[in-house]
Chains A and B, each alone.
Chain A
Amino acid sequence: MSEPVLRAEGLGKRYGAREALHDVSFAAHAGELVAVIGANGAGKTTLLSILAGVQEPSSGSLFRGEGQIGWVPQQPALYSKLTVAENLRLFARLERVSDSERVVARMLEQTGLSERADERVAHLSGGNRQRVNVALGLLADPPAILLDEPSTALDPGQRERLWGFISELAAQGTSVVFSTHVVAEAQRHAQRVVVLEGGRVLFDGTPAALALEGGGDDFEQAFVAFLRGRSEP
């Protein structure tokens, strides 16, 4: 297998006395779609924000290869008084992307928002906002992109379009790491799942392997059974 685009070894994060992450090791390769799943408070957002460079880990090391890592936070990080194009242009300039106008045009086309380029973000639907949010993470054409619960607050149609877009990115060679608490999404879209519980990695493998280990009739039941099996003495 090729060199990972993103690699973490023994990551730990403490907030005072509370340990949010403990000895988390993890790697993502080019073109790979990796889902980080777990219950609320398992440490998914903390792990992704450390990988994105938003937070510093308390311990452990992180390897982020050449090029920037794209970051798509859970809440759309957009200026609602600016238009779609103005948001993209601003962040392209801040990220010192060469030929920012061409990149903005490409992202508008890629996300299917060209016709709404001059519309203020405040007037967009939740799905379109999330598309702009993802587009901002892709401005620097990163080799890897991190998405924190990207489908939250989207209706089924919007969710489907978003996953189509993300799958296409991975098919083009971008390493995609996303967190979700909707385990069915992980089963459908991810090639690999990382299960976090209490800040620790309990499982790292394919969705099929997790289903097998959990032993339930469907993936969600298998996941719940897996967590229960690990928590019981």
Chain B
Amino acid sequence: MRWLLGKDLLILRRSRLLVALLVAYPVAIALLIGFAISASPSKPRVAVVDETPPGQTITLGEKRVGLDEYTNELFDQIDVVRVPTRAEAVSKVASGDVLAAIVIPADIVSKISSGVSQARAEVIYNGDALKQSFVRSAIDSALAQANLALSQQIKSVAVHDLNLLLTGGRIGPLGSQKLIGLRQLPGTLRSIAQRQPPGEDRATLVRVAGFASLAANNLGIAADVLTTVSQPITVHSTLLHGKRTPLDTYAVVVAVSISLMFICVLLAAGGIALEREEHAMSRLIRRPSGGGGALISRAGLLAEKASLGAVCGFMVAFAMLLGVSAFVALDLSRIGQWVIALGFGALGFAALGIAIGALAREVRAASLLAFLLSLPLAFLALVPSGAVAAGLYHAIGVVSFVFPYKAALQALDAAVNGASPGLGVSVAHLAGVTLLFGVLARLGLSGAE
């Protein structure tokens, strides 16, 4: 087997362009996917027509809130292209210069200040279903953020007024009027009542003092009620298994596992297919004399190609992880687990590769089949639950379970990030998948030559 391995390495050394492509292409694909996963979505480019007069304020009680505070919150979520008229905004949307347009009408301030009618902004968008969905969700999210900011402002004005009512203070121009607080009222009333002679007036004053005490106590919790109403739900996250995985290190795991997959699958598949393409298979696997053994058994040939793919893939993937650790904080104390995960992942992918190679009769067909199979498998394994219908998700789960990508991704995620399921489970899964594809490859090679 070592002579064949040496021959394959020599051929690889002489195929520099192939090797460069074999390494560069998967790494480029992996990095693109990694960036796509880890990068924040860019702000949608949206045209804004602000028809309100400049410097307008929203009056809430005695406080005035500048409209800019509202629109700034909205504009912070989008890439604003200011246009003067609605017609120009429509033209920009139609030409595709902007994804959508928001028209803020002139009466928005009076509507918000009225407190009885909802203010309404107009959203104009265009494009296919995917673009429409993206624009709607981006603008809905931006409006939700802006609404939240405005409701916080309203809450803050309301809480200030409530506190004034409860504790008293000065109101009016330059604090000219002194307001007695509801909390002081019961004590004041009771002291006046004690100075009254027993009778109807005293009893009434005592009753009013009791009511004032009750009102002060109940109004005291109104501030908390307003806070709850302005933001009814806050989030407290609980992770069921494992530990929380940072997005950037998960992206590293995805990128490395995709590179590992491509290199192992392509080399192993191409290696087997090359033996057929060069017509060498009949020389290698024949039994040259009565009872004598073949130059190499079919199983031996498969093991040699799987080793070639696995070792090369492992080396590139390990180098990638070490290289990336210079830029992304990876826990180097887990390096032993990296080796285990990459090793078993490489074997799983190489087993898939030799099965593909055993089916195809030439290198080009094997490479094409490897690409056609590998890329969708990687994307399917990244589909999160809830993103598709339950039935489809289960079907995806079955496919991902049978092929090695998801198991390799989970093993590497467990090794690098300590994610769940643990390394042991994923490695056992990979061992099973390796065995399955090894058997399929051996069956595929049974009829060779």
Binding site for B on A (CB under 8 A): 49, 52-55, 62-69, 71, 73, 75-82, 86, 90-91, 93-95, 136, 140
Give Cα A90–Cα B11 distance, bound, in whole angstroms: 13
Q: Which of B10, B278, B288 contacts A71 (CB under 8 A)?
A: B288
| Known A54-B285, A79-B7: A68·B280 in contact at CB below 8 Å | no
- Return A44 CB to nearest CB of chain B, in Å: 15
B282 and A63 form a contact (CB under 8 A): no
**Does B14 contact A81, Cβ atoms closer than 8 Å?**
yes
Q: Mark B275-313, 1 if CB is under 8 A from A, else 0.
A: 000111111111111101011100000000000000000
**Contact status A82-B7, CB under 8 Å:** yes
Knowing that A54-B449, A73-B279, A80-B278 touch, tell me 16 more A-B residue pairs with CB under 8 angstroms: A52-B282, A53-B287, A53-B289, A53-B292, A65-B290, A68-B292, A71-B288, A73-B282, A75-B279, A77-B281, A82-B10, A91-B283, A93-B3, A94-B3, A94-B4, A95-B295
B285 proximity list for chain A (CB < 8 A): 54
List of B residues within 8 angstroms of A49 by Cβ: 282, 286, 449
CA distance A27 to B30 in the complex (A): 60
A90 near B283: Cβ-Cβ < 8 Å: no
What is the minimal beta-carbon distance from B4 to any residue of chain A, in angstroms? Answer: 7
Q: B279 near A76 (CB under 8 angstroms)?
A: yes
- Report yes or no: A90 in contact with B278, Cβ–Cβ below 8 A: no
Give B contacts to A, CB under 8 Å: 3-4, 7, 10-11, 14-15, 278-290, 292, 294-296, 449
Kindly report which residue of chain A lies nearest to residue B8, judged by CB atoms: A79
In the complex, what's the smallest C-beta–C-beta distance from B309 to chain A, in angstroms? 18
Instruction: Report how many A-B pairs have Cβ atoms within 8 Å.
Output: 76
Q: How far is the CA of A86 from the CA of B14 in the complex (A)?
A: 13
A81 partner, pick from B3, B11, B289, beta carbons under 8 A: B11
Nearest residue, chain B, Cβ from A66: B289
CB of B296 within 8 A of CB of A53, answer no
- The answer to whether A78 and B3 touch across the interface, beta carbons within 8 angstroms, is no
Alpha-carbon gap, A65 to B289, bound state (A):
8
Whether the Cβ atoms of B282 and A64 lie closer than 8 Å is no
Q: CB distance A63 to B7 under 8 Å?
A: no
Point out which of A65, A69, A81, A91 has the most chain B C-beta atoms below 10 A from its C-beta: A81
In the complex with contacts A68-B292, A71-B286, A86-B10 CB distance below 8 A: yes
| Assembled-state Cα–Cα distance A199/B290 (Å) | 23
Majority DSSP secondary structure for residues of A touching B: loop
Is A94 within 8 A of B296, CB to CB?
Answer: yes
Q: Would you list the 6 A-B pairs with minimal beta carbon distance, nearest first?
A: A53-B287, A75-B279, A68-B288, A54-B286, A64-B290, A53-B286
B289 to nearest A CB, angstroms?
A: 5
The docked-state distance in angstroms from the alpha carbon of A7 to that of B393 is 61
Contacting residues, chain A, for B7 (C-beta < 8 A):
79, 82, 86, 90
**Within the complex, which residue of B3, B278, B287 is in contact with A77, where a contact is CB–CB below 8 Å?**
B278
**Given A54-B449, A81-B14, A82-B10, are A73 and B283 also a contact pair (CB < 8 Å)?**
yes
Q: Say how far B245's CB is from chain A's closest CB, in angstroms.
A: 44
Would you give the shortest CB distance from A230 to chain B, in whole angstroms? 31
In the assembled complex, the Cα of A53 lies from the Cα of B297 at a distance in Å of 13
Residues of A within 8 A of B281 (CB): 77
Please state if B279 and A77 are interface contacts (CB–CB under 8 Å).
Answer: yes
* Residues on the B chain within 8 Å of A93, using CB: 3
Cross-chain pairs A/B with CB under 8 angstroms, 13 sampled: A54-B282, A65-B290, A66-B289, A71-B286, A75-B279, A78-B279, A79-B11, A81-B14, A91-B295, A94-B4, A94-B296, A95-B295, A136-B283
Q: Measured between alpha carbons, how far is A11 from B281 in the docked complex, in Å?
A: 23
Q: Tell me the complex Cα distance, A95–B284, Å.
A: 9
Q: Which of A55, A63, A90, A94 contacts B290 (CB 8 A)?
A: A63
CB distance from A147 to the nearest CB of B (A): 13
**A55 vs B283: C-alpha distance in the bound complex, in angstroms?**
11
- Residues on B with C-beta less than 8 A from A95 are 288, 295
Chain B, residue nearest A94 (CB):
B295
In whole angstroms, what is the CA distance A65 to B288 when docked? 11
